């Protein structure tokens, strides 16, 4: 049996998806932190260093840094390397604009500390709902 | 338009407000790439034009020094991208310091991207702008308006935290390090930075550029006389915090420097003058490139200093900088810079080792004894 936790936030860019979570405790600057050619995190000091964000539900506290990040998200989406959805604690305009033009479902005002990498997530950005389907432990 | 309405909805804007100017990022083909170039081309083909005064961030080419040294297809794509912006109605400003071209009025509403310029405009010049994403700054330039949200509202510009600087900041790299240190811990809380001793505008430029690179906060207060609400959370910045941050921004202690780069953000006239005077009659070493980056306008104004600097073998580049061009394709493996922002980005964006060093030390490294 899987147990299910429901978190309620705010839907930002509409869409629904079900995919595996990838959770970072660190903010992300898409320009610089993410390689647009591979979709991998290339910032050595980042906790997701070397990991691909492709097709994951990418959960991180907020965006920071370069304002070109919006375009990097768009590039990733065009190459099929974008995350399936973005979940933030606090939405940042650079990430929002990127998600809008790249058409990536996005939700914020979520306590991402409740989500672990590897959890299966059902994200409904129409309603701002994140369902965490965890495999039963032990 | 959809972009602006979305931002407005999210951040509780009740209306769109007219802007004095826009500043657009995402102009270098290196940082943009193919898909966003197509996106912008499609926009330009609709016949849309900018309606307010608007400037462009740096691109990847300098007309004099880089145009012949980079691979042909990259040059072609950059020229194509510049043509797209021209079609949208932009002039060839290509700088991250639009405030040296025209200083915004105090209290004017702007829609600026380029995070370093956003922080400088809000904190040093007293203009009001959110940190726009590249596409939303462009959208604002086209409609001449921006959503009335975030720090376009007085109540959101107040300090939320006090940063008490116990360290004495000796030069621009200490100011940059302070920005990186605070950027990492502030989240979105605007700081009142106390304890700065007569910072120059250029010191504050370094502080703001670094703050925005490492964090999400878009402005700082630094004048002690500003009124704060009763009890604010306090952060103490110790000398060791600055020292450790400076050390972390240097990735190599053994590798030979290939490029000494000054001008992130682009140099002011005062900085060019300072460099010219410091160089005196010395020459740049044969095994090192020395770049000083600025805008076309400042270079034009600095003619006499430019001649002196170029006589040394140093290169004054306009329209671009080391971060937004392909230094790796020029064989540059190690970059020494006095900019904490560059030191923060260069390991990933330039695939280079970095050395953060003061202007004095940069000059010592670049010049023959």
Give catalytic status of residue A117 as yes or no: no
Of A64, A65, A97, the CB nearest to B3: A97
Kindly list the distances between the CA atom of residue B119 and the CA atoms of A26, B96, B104, B190, in Å, as whole numbers in the listed order. 22, 12, 13, 11
Q: Which residues of B touch A27 (CB under 8 A)?
A: 215-216
pLDDT, average across residues B29-46: 95
Q: What is the pLDDT of residue A138?
A: 37
Give the distance from residue A137's alpha carbon to the nearest chain B alpha carbon, in angstroms: 34
Q: Which residues of B touch A33 (CB under 8 A)?
A: 348
Which residue, B342, B356, B276, is CA-closest to B314?
B276
Q: Are B144 and B51 in contact (CB under 8 A)?
A: yes
Q: What is the pLDDT of residue B224?
A: 74
Two tokens at B14?
């009740």
Give burial (CB, 10 Å; 0-12/13-18/19+) of B45.
exposed
Q: Which residues of B touch A97 (CB under 8 A)?
A: 3, 6-7, 132-136
Render pLDDT for B132-155 as a digit per residue (tens, 0 to 9): 999 999 999 999 999 999 999 999
Question: Which residues are bridge partners to A6 per DSSP?
Answer: A131
pLDDT band at A1 (very low <50, low <70, confident <90, very high): low
pLDDT, average across residues B325-343: 97
Range scoring the smallest mean pLDDT among A1-10, A125-134, B187-196, B326-335:
A1-10
Question: Which residues are bridge partners to A124 per DSSP?
Answer: A16, A129
B250: left (phi over 0), alpha (psi -120 to 50) or beta: beta
Q: Identify the residue whose tokens are 């376009």.
A: B152
pLDDT, average across residues A13-23: 97
CA distance B134 to B196: 32
- Closest chain A residue to B28 measured between Cα atoms? A68
Cβ–Cβ gap A65/B213 under 8 Å: yes
CA distance B27 to B95: 10
Q: Which residues of B touch A94 (CB under 8 A)?
A: 131-133
pLDDT band at B209 (very low <50, low <70, confident <90, very high): very high
Q: What is the pLDDT of residue B1?
A: 58
* Catalytic entry in A66, A70, A75, A117: A66
pLDDT, average across residues A70-75: 96
- Is residue A125's pLDDT more than 90? yes
Render pLDDT for B254-293 as a digit per residue (tens, 0 to 9): 999 999 999 999 999 999 999 999 998 999 999 999 999 9
- Is residue A136's pLDDT more than 60? no
Q: Identify the residue whose tokens are 């129409």.
A: A126
- B306 vs B4 pLDDT, higher one: B306
Which residue, B118, B83, B321, B94, is CA-closest to B219?
B118
CA distance B318 to B298: 9
Q: Are B27 and B81 in contact (CB under 8 A)?
A: yes
Q: What is the pLDDT of residue A3?
A: 73
What sections of chain B are H helices per DSSP? 2-10, 29-32, 34-45, 72-87, 115-120, 134-143, 172-186, 201-214, 239-248, 269-279, 296-301, 303-311, 340-349, 359-366
Give burial (CB, 10 Å; 0-12/13-18/19+) of B185.
middle
- Closest chain A residue to B38 measured between Cα atoms? A75
Q: What is the percentage of chain B residues whose pLDDT exceeds 90? A: 89
Q: Are A25 and A47 in contact (CB under 8 A)?
A: yes
- Is residue B221's pLDDT more than 60? yes
pLDDT band at A71 (very low <50, low <70, confident <90, very high): very high
A vs B, Cβ pairs < 8 A, gives 119
Q: Are A67 and A6 in contact (CB under 8 A)?
A: no
Q: What is the pLDDT of residue A119?
A: 96
- Closest chain A residue to B215 measured between Cα atoms? A64
Render pLDDT for B169-183 as a digit per residue (tens, 0 to 9): 999 999 999 999 999
> How confident is the prediction for chain B on average, in pLDDT?
95
Q: Identify the residue whose tokens are 């300072």.
A: B274
Q: Cα B353 vs. chain centroid, distance in angstroms? A: 20
Render pLDDT for B91-130 as a digit per residue (tens, 0 to 9): 999 999 999 999 999 999 999 999 999 999 999 999 999 9
Two tokens at B369?
């004894």
Which residue, B170, B228, B181, B173, is CA-closest to B206?
B173
Long-range contacts of B43-46 (CB under 8 A, 24+ apart): B43/B88, B43/B138, B44/B84, B44/B85, B44/B87, B44/B88
Which residue, B9, B16, B216, is CA-closest to A11?
B9
Of B115, B134, B150, the CB nearest to A71: B134
Q: What is the percentage of chain A residues whose pLDDT exceeds 70? A: 96
Question: Which residues are bridge partners to A100 per DSSP?
Answer: none
φ/ψ of residue B120, rounded to 5: -65, -45
What sections of A79-117 are H helices per DSSP? 93-102
If residue A72 lies in a helix (H) or strand (E), which one and from where to where? helix A69-78
Which residue, B148, B154, B130, is CA-closest to B219?
B130
What ipTM is given for this predicted complex? 0.89
């Amino acid at each position: 049996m899987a147990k299910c936790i429901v978190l309620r936030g705010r839907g930002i860019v509409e869409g629904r998806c079900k995919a595996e979570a990838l959770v970072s405790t660190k903010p992300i600057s898409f320009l610089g932190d993410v390689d647009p050619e591979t979709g991998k995190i290339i910032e050595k000091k980042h906790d997701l260093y070397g990991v691909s964000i492709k097709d994951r539900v990418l959960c991180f506290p907020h965006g920071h840094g370069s304002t070109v990040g919006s375009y990097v998200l768009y590039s990733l989406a065009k190459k099929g390397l974008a995350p399936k959805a973005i979940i933030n604690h606090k939405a940042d305009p650079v990430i929002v604009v990127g998600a809008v033009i790249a058409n990536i479902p996005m939700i914020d005002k979520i306590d991402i500390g409740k989500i672990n990498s590897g959890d299966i997530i059902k994200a409904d950005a129409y309603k701002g709902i994140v369902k965490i389907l965890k495999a039963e432990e032990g | 338009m959809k972009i602006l309405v979305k931002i407005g909805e999210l951040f509780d804007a009740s209306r769109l407000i007219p802007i004095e100017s826009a500043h657009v990022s995402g102009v270098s083909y290196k940082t943009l790439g193919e898909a966003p170039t197509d996106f912008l081309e499609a926009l330009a083909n609709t016949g849309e034009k900018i309606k307010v005064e608007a400037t462009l961030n740096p691109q990847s080419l300098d007309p004099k020094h880089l145009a012949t040294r980079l691979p042909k297809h990259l040059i072609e794509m950059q020229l194509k991208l510049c043509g797209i912006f021209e079609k949208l109605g932009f002039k060839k400003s290509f700088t991250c310091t639009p405030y040296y071209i025209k200083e915004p009025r105090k209290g004017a509403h702007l829609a600026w991207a380029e995070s370093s310029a956003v922080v400088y405009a809000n904190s040093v010049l007293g203009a009001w702008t959110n940190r726009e994403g590249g596409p939303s700054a462009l959208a604002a330039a086209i409609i001449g308006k921006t959503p009335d949200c975030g720090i376009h509202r007085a109540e959101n510009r107040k300090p939320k935290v006090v940063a008490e600087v116990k360290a004495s900041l000796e030069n621009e790299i200490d100011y940059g390090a302070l920005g990186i240190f605070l950027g990492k811990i502030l989240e979105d809380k605007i700081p009142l930075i106390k304890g700065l001793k007569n910072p120059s505008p250029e010191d504050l430029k370094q502080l703001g550029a670094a703050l925005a690179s490492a964090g999400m906060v878009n402005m700082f207060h630094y004048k002690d006389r500003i009124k704060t609400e009763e009890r604010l959370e306090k952060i103490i910045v110790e000398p060791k915090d600055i020292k450790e941050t400076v050390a972390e921004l240097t990735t190599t202690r053994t590798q030979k420097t290939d490029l000494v780069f000054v001008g992130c953000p682009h140099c002011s006239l005062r900085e060019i003058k300072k460099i010219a005077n410091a160089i005196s009659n010395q020459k740049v070493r044969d095994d090192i490139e020395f770049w000083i980056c600025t805008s076309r306008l400042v270079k034009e104004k600095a003619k006499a200093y430019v001649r002196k600097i170029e006589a040394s073998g140093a290169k004054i580049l306009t329209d671009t900088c080391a971060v937004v061009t392909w230094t790796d394709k020029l064989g540059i493996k190690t970059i020494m810079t006095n900019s904490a922002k560059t030191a923060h980005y260069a390991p990933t964006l330039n695939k280079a080792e970095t050395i953060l060093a003061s202007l004095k030390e940069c000059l010592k490294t670049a010049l023959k004894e």
